[in-house]
Structures are given as C-alpha cells and as structure tokens.
Amino acid sequence: MKTTIKKNLKIHIRRGDRVKILTGKHKNEEGAVLKVFPKTYRAVVEGMNLVARHLKPSAEHPKGMIQRQPSPIHISNLMLIDPASGQPTRVGRKHNEAGSLQRYAKKTGNFIKNV
C-alpha cells in the first residue's frame, strides 16, 4: 500500500545531512542520509534499518544470494545533527543576508550550509 503525504508538509532533512534516529531498533544511533523520498515523507539512512533482499540465481551468483540493504525511515523519527555543535536540533527556515530562505538550527541559531 503506497501512501502519499499532503503537499504542505516541509522536509527539513536533505541528502548528506547527519541525523540521529529517535525511535526503533536503531534508537540514539547516528548516520548520513543517503536518499530522501518527499512524497512518502521518508529517508534512507546509511547502515540503519537493514532488510534482507533475496536475489535470484544469475551468471554472477549461480546459487543466488541474500543482500542486506537499508530501508526508508519516516522523517518524524529523525532529528538533524547541527554541524557546528554536533548536537541534535530542530530545524527552522528564515531569510539570510541574501534574502533567500535557508535552514537554521533552532538550538544555536546558526545557518545550516547546504551540502
């Protein structure tokens, strides 16, 4: 069953960000975001939420194989780690000196550079 999210929700996590996982099997662990899926409000975190994928036999692997790969995690279960302080923080948006919207860490007030 594929779910979609209303368009007005904003995703404050981007590819390349370091995040802390808040709930689940990998609670309190950190990792880098590999991919973000805005329509389903999920993200893939490096080395977290691994699932087994069974591959059919092929020329390379005549017996077939079981491959471990990361599965998406809901964005609400992730918290951005501030690059300046190294602490988890909430994210806001405000205009910078150039007049464009930019993400900032609510804990320190510093702007978050885009990766």
Each residue of 11-53: pLDDT tens digit? Answer: 889 999 999 999 989 999 999 999 999 888 999 999 888 899 9
Each residue of 62-102: pLDDT tens digit? Answer: 999 999 999 999 999 999 999 888 999 999 999 988 888 89
- The full set of domain ranges for the chain reads 18-86
Higher pLDDT among residues 35 and 109, named by residue:
35
The answer to whether the beta carbons of residues 48 and 26 sit under 8 Å apart is yes
pLDDT beyond 70 at 5:
no
- DSSP H or E run through 30: strand 30-37
Q: In sequence order, which residues have a C-beta less than 8 Å from that of residue 76 and are 6 or more positions away?
A: 41
The answer to whether the beta carbons of residues 47 and 31 sit under 8 Å apart is yes
Let me know if domain 18-86 sits in CATH 2.30.30.30. yes
Please choose, from the candidates 74, 14, 91, the residue with its C-alpha nearest in 3D space to the C-alpha of residue 40.
74
Which H, E and C letters describe 47-86, residue by residue? CCCEEEEEECCCCCCCCCEEEEEECCEEHHHEEEECCCCC
Give the distance, in angstroms, between the CA of residue 98 and the centroid of all CA atoms in the same chain: 27
Predicted TM-score of the model (pTM):
0.79
Quote the pLDDT of residue 96: 86
